[in-house]
Structure 1
Amino acid sequence: MAVAVQIVLDCAHPSAQAAFWQIALDYRLDPPPPGFTSWDDAKKAWGLPEDWDQVSAISDPDGVGPRLFFQQVPEGKTVKNRLHLDVSVGRGIQDPEERWATVVARVERLTAAGAAVVEERRHEHGDHWMVMTDPEGNEFCVQ
């Protein structure tokens, strides 16, 4: 039996981080629980405090990739990530120029959504990727 994986990300603003990573990964916001038309309706019904930006989650619409769960924590990011995500938009594209154009297009889209470019890297064996940070400063790569 396969084990399901959920990646949990500590952050200051779960809703904003979830919105950014939806764009990065082509994921979707988890739908509200059965019987509710929105998460706000569910949270009101459950009597949760008005500060609802404590958690958020997104999932792969195809059910292949792991769910990402964002939880609010009081402390900010202070050091380099020990784990980072690779956004592999060029995987399977054989032509190097087309693959890099696909990477650059995603980088531009993510920059418009609040990411920052750290540096472009190229491996001696031909791999080529962009190191970026998300809106809260977490490092990730686009390849």
Structure 2
Amino acid sequence: MTEQTRTVQITFDCADPAALAAFWATTLGYRLQDPPGGFASWEQALDAMGVPPERRNDASAVVDPAGTGPRLFFQRVPEGKQVKNRVHLDVRAAPGLSGDARMAALEAEAERLVSHGATRLQRHEPAPPLGAGHIIMADPEGNEFCLD
């Protein structure tokens, strides 16, 4: 039996899909997913689908412009976040760097993301040989992620 690889989509339950999609697009350098073929905008597509105005922020998605990263999908749910994430994203903000240079790059990225609505939670100092150092953050709806 031949095993087949699968692609993944990362789904976020949230209160404001459009706002959270915009945050993650900024964080990762992604872009809002294009509307379906034949439509110049999402408004046109949603009008054609008969989606009422109060339901137009029920979902949103962002994609990697290069087409290599996973699609991020945001869906509105009625309940707020309750507990710490069991799975989280590591945003690779300092590839190839170590020590003070790495932590300075992570600090700069943390500052940039805070200006876009993120919250800084905790800094972990480098602890060689295995711990390179990272910063724990939360997106605007409280989902934890690491700057790594």
TM tier relative to shorter chain: over 0.9
Equivalent residue pairs, number:
142
Residue equivalent to 2:68: 64
Give unmatched runs, 5+ long, in structure 1: none
- Determine the structure 2 residue equivalent to 1:8: 11
Give the SS at the match of 1:8. Answer: strand
Name the Cα RMSD after superposition.
1.3
Cα offsets for 1:91-119 (capped at 9, x unmatched) = 123x5333222212211110000001001
Q: Percent identity?
A: 49
Q: Which moved more, 1:117-126 or 1:27-36?
A: 117-126
Which runs of at least 4 in structure 1 moved beyond 4 Å after TM superposition?
none
Matched AA of 1:29: L
Which one has a bigger Cα radius of gyration? 2
The CA distance in 2 between the partners of 1:79 and 1:106, in whole Å, is: 25
Distance in structure 2 (CA, Å) of the matches to 1:61 and 1:109: 21
Pairing partner for 1:132 from 137, 142, 145: 137
- Corresponding residue of 1:19: 22
Provide the rounded CA distance (Å) in 1 between the counterparts of 2:40 and 2:134.
40
SS at match of 1:40: helix
User: Aligned partner of 2:140: which letter?
Assistant: P
Measured in 2, the distance between the counterparts of 1:92 and 1:55 equals 36
1:53 to 57, 60, 65: 57
Matches within 5 A, 1:72-91: 72-91=76-95
Unaligned runs of 5+ in 2: none
Partner Cα separation in structure 1 for residue 20 and residue 105 of structure 2: 23
CA distance in 1, matches of 2:24, 2:106: 16
Counterpart residue number, 1:110: 113
C-alpha separation in 2, matches of 1:19 and 1:122:
30
Greater Cα shift, 117-126 or 41-50: 117-126
Give 1:123 deviation, angstroms: 4.4
Assess if the C-alpha contact under 8 Å between 2:59 and 2:73 holds in 1: yes
Residue 57 of structure 2 corresponds to residue 39 of structure 1: no
How far, CA to CA, are the matches of 2:103 and 2:65 in structure 1? 25
